[in-house]
Amino acid sequence: MMTKDRRLRAALLLCGTILCCPIIPPAEAADPGRVDKTFFNGKNLDGWTSGELKYWSVKNKAIVGHSDANVPRNEFIWSKVEVKDFLLVVDVKLAPDSCNAGIQFRSKKANASGQALGYQADVGGGVWGKLYHEHGRGKLDWNNRAAKAVKRGEWNHYEILAVGHQIWTAINGTLCVAIEDPKGELSGKIAFQVHSGPPQNVRYRVRKLVHDPPLKLEKQTKKQLLDALPKKKKTAAGTPRPKPAWTAQLTAWRAKLDANDPGMKGEWFSTAFDDARWKTMNLPRHYETAGLPGHDGTVWFRRVIELPAARAGKPLTLELGPIDDMDMTWFNGKRVGGIERPGFWATPRRYAIKGELVKGGRNVIAVRVIDHGWPGGFAGKAAQMRIGGRGLKSLSIAGDWKFQPGVTLKALGLGALAAPAPPPPPPPTPALVRPLARPASPRPPFANGFALKGGESIVILGGSNAAELPRFGYFETLLAASHPGRPVLLRNLAWPADTVYRQQRPRNFFSVVNPGYGERDGRAPVPADIVFLWLGQSEAMDGAENLGAFVQAYREKVDLLQAYTGRVVLVTPVPCEDPLGLGLDTKKHNRSLAAFAQAIRQLGKDKKLPVIDLFSRLKGRQVTRDGLLLSRRGHSLAAQEIVRTLHREPSGIPSVELRPSGKLQSQPAENLRQAVLKKNRLWQQYWRPTNWSFLYGNRQTQPSSRDHRNRQVRWFPGELQSLLPLLDEADNKIHAAAKRATTPPGS
C-alpha cells in the first residue's frame, strides 16, 4: 500500500512530467495549414450542387457519380468551398477504367448547367495523372508518369497541391504533374466530374482538404517538388522564350480531341488490343477515298509484322512516308514517334525503334492519324513504307492494314486548325512565277468582291484549257464589255500541259541568270495585279487517291502567288465527257474531278478568294471536244460563267450567242472580239515565239540568229521588243471597242 509521502512524491513527479513534455495533439491537427471539415461530411451532398443531381449520390463515405445509360454531356458536382492555395487528397476508383473523369480545382461554372472552366486533374484510361484546362487552354502537362503507378479498376490515391502558380499532383505516391503556370487561376471551386460517354461509375473518397498547406506531398519534400518544376528556357537576353501565337489554340484543340478519342481511352495501341473486328485498308492512300469520305479527325491503323527470332533485342528503323496531317506512332505498345503539330503533311516519318522493344515473332505497329481538314492519311508511296535494320533486309509494310475511325472534329464541335504562320515564300520558280514582277508589297485582296478600276494587269496561269483562252477570245471580250470605261490589260501566261506539279519551259526562258548560252532573256517581267489560276484538269485524271498531293502543291502555288497579289481568282476543272464515243469512264473521272473541284472551293473559302466553279456550272452541257479540253462552244459557255460569277450586275453582261462560224451574233461584240484576237496574236508572238533556242536558248551563235551584215547584232531580240508598242496600241483598240459594244444604238 502506498504511503502518504509516496503518493505526494508520485503526484509531484507526474506534475513535473506534464509540465516538461509538450502536449501531443491529435494526428490531424499536426498537419500545418487549415484542415477544412466543412468540405464534405461523408454522409450526404449538403454543400454540393449539380445541374443533374440524378448522377450523384453518397455511398460508404464516397461521392459517387453513376449512370446505367449513356451520359450525353460532361456532368459536374460542385463544392461551395472556395480554394486558393490548397492540398486536396482524394481516393478515386473508376469503372470501367476505359472511361474518363476528373477533379476540377480553382474552377468556376461556365454556364447554368454547371459546365466547368478551369484546371482538371484527369482520371481514366490514358489520361490518369495529366493536367488539363477544361473549356479553356486544354492540355497543360500531358505526360505518362502515372502509367505504371495506377491500379486499374482499384482505388487510387490522388494528391493535388496548388501554391501560387505552382501545381503538383501525385498518384499512389508517384509525382505526375509539376508545373508553374503564370496564366492560371489563383482561386475557384472544386468539382468532381462524370464524363460524357457510356455507362460508368466513379467514386471520390475525400481524405482531406487543407488550406494554405506546406510545400510537400506524402512522399515528396519541398526540395523535391521545387526541383521537379521545369526549368525556364531563356533567350540570349535572359528573358523567357515566347511560345508561338498558335500554341494555345493547338493545345486546346488537341486536348479536346484526345480526351474524347475512344482509341486513347481504349489503348488501341496496345499489343493486347483485339482488332479482329476492324476493317482493312490498303496503304498508302488517303482514307477519304477508302470508305471514310469527309472524315476529319482521327483514324487508327494497326499492322502485325513477323520478325525472325534472331532479330529480338536488335534496333530497327520504321518508315511510314508522309502522313497527312499529324501522327502518333507506337511499336509493341510503346510510343516511338509522331509529329503532333500542323504543317508537316509532306514530311516523311522515320522513327528509331530501340532493341528492347523488338521481339522475335509477332510485333505490332499502331499509328494514330490526326487530320484537321482536307484529305487525311498516308500520303506517300508504297516504297516509303518499310521497316529495316542492320543485317535485316528491308521489309515492306505497304498493303493491308487494320483501321478504325476514332473521333470526328464535327462530333466535338471543332474546326480545322489554323496552322502557324507560313515562312516567307521560297524563291519563285521559273515557270509559274518568274515572269511576274514582284511588287514592293503585295496588292491587297478585293475589299468587296471582284472589281476592276481600270488599268490593272490581269494574268492567266494554268494548263491547256487556260492556254486556249486566247484562241477564241470570248473571255476577254466579255470581261472588257462588262467593264466599259475601265481598260482591261490581260496577259495569258498559261502553257499547254502545265500541271500544279510541273511547268516545263525552254532553257533560259524568262531567266534572271545567264546559264552560259549567250544573251539572257531580255523581256521585262509582267506585272500581276490580278491572277486567275486554272489548274486541276490533268491532275484529277491521276485519280482521287492523289488528291492530297494535289492539295499540298496547289496550296503552295496559291501561297506563292499571294506574295505578289492578294487578288487571286481560282478556277476549277471542267467535267469529263465522252463526245467521241470512246468509252471513257466518265463516272469515275467525274468523281475524281468533283473531289479536286471541292478541294479548290474549300481552299478559296479558307483564304477568302473568289472561286469560279466550272465543274458544277458546266456539268451536263456538252462542252468538251475530246472529254477534257473545251470546245469552241465550251469556251463561250465557260467565259459566260466566269464573268457572270465575278460581275456584280449579271444583267449588264452581253450575251454570247454564236453563229455557226463561231463569231458572235452581235456585230459590236464581234468587233470587240476581233480586237481581242489581234492583240492575242501579238502576245503569242511575244510570249511564246518560235525558234526559241535561236532567240535566248543554246543556238544563239548560229548564223540565222544574227544580222548577216553585222555578226554582232542579233535581230531576234530587237524584233521581239518591237512588239511592245503594238501591244499597247492593241489594248487601246480593245478599250475603244468595248465602249462601242456597250453603247446603245443611236446614243
Question: What is the CB neighbour count within 10 angstroms for residue 741?
Answer: 22
Q: Are 300 and 366 in contact (CB under 8 A)?
A: yes
Cis peptide leading into residue 284 (ω within 30°): yes
Confidence of residue 497 (pLDDT cuts 50, 70, 90): confident
Query: Other CB atoms closer than 10 Å to residue 470's CB: what's the count?
Result: 22
Q: What is the pLDDT of residues 501-515, one digit of tens each?
A: 888 887 677 654 444
> Is the pLDDT score of 385 beyond 50?
yes
Tell me if residue 200 falls in helix, strand or coil: strand
- Mutual orientation of helices 474-481 and 723-741 as an angle, nearest 10°? 60
Low-confidence winner among 149-153, 320-324, 713-717 (lowest mean pLDDT): 713-717
Q: What is the arithmetic mean of pLDDT over 600-622?
A: 94
- pLDDT tens digits for 202-228? 999 999 999 999 999 999 999 999 999
d(CA 534, CA 601): 12
**CA–CA separation, 47 and 514 (whole Å):** 83
Rounded to whole angstroms, the Cα distance separating 135 from 116 reads: 7
398 pLDDT more than 90: yes
Strand 377-378 and strand 34-35: the pairing is unpaired
Residue 656 has pLDDT above 90, yes or no: no
The cell numbers describing 380, all together, are 506517300
Q: Please, which pLDDT band fits residue 76 given cuts at 50, 70 and 90?
A: very high
Neighbours of 455 (CB within 10 A): 12
The string of pLDDT tens digits covering residues 308-361 is 998 999 999 999 999 988 999 999 999 999 988 877 787 889 999 999 999 999
More confident residue, 28 or 550: 550
Instruction: Write the DSSP symbol of residue 441.
Output: S
Which has more confidence, 197 or 177?
177
For residue 744, what pLDDT is reported? Answer: 63
**Region 470-494 average pLDDT:** 90
Q: Omega into 427 within 30° of 0, i.e. cis?
A: no
Confidence of residue 149 (pLDDT cuts 50, 70, 90): very high
Mean pLDDT, the chain, whole residue set: 85
Residue 518 has pLDDT above 80, yes or no: no
pLDDT of residue 369 exceeding 90, the answer is yes
pLDDT for the residue numbered 515: 47
Residue 551 to residue 561: CA distance in whole angstroms = 15
Looking at residue 60, its amino acid is N
Q: What is the pLDDT of residues 289-302, one digit of tens each?
A: 888 888 889 999 99
Average pLDDT over residues 535-554: 88
Spell out the domains of the chain, with CATH numbers in brackets. Answer: 34-228+251-259 (2.60.120.560), 270-412 (2.60.120.260), 457-741 (3.40.50.1110)
DSSP secondary structure code for residue 182 in this structure:
T
Q: Percent of the chain beyond pLDDT 70?
A: 88
Which residue shows C-alpha cell 480593245?
Answer: 734
Percentage of the chain exceeding pLDDT 90: 52
Give the side-chain half-sphere CA count within 13 A for 674.
Answer: 10
CB neighbour list of residue 461: distance below 8 Å, 6 or more residues apart? 432, 493, 494, 498, 531, 532, 533, 534, 535, 561
Across the range 441-463, mean pLDDT stands at 88
Closest of 681, 614, 278, 650 to residue 450, by C-alpha: 650
Between residues 90 and 692, the one the model is more confident about: 90
Q: Where residue 14 falls among pLDDT bands split at 50, 70, 90?
A: very low
- Whole-angstrom Cα distance, residue 642 to residue 630? 14
Residue 304 has pLDDT above 90, yes or no: yes
Q: 112, 109, 100: which is closest to 78 by C-alpha?
A: 109
> Cα separation of 576 and 585, whole Å?
9
Q: What angle do CA 182, 133, 325 make, to 5 degrees?
A: 105
- Answer yes or no: are the C-beta atoms of 385 and 401 closer than 8 Å: no
Whole-model pTM?
0.48
Give the model's confidence band at 2: pLDDT under 50 very low, under 70 low, under 90 confident, else very high.
very low
pLDDT tens profile 244-283: 445 666 777 888 888 899 999 889 999 999 999 999 999 9
Q: pLDDT band for position 19 (50/70/90)?
A: very low
The CA radius of gyration of the chain, in Å to the nearest whole number, is: 36
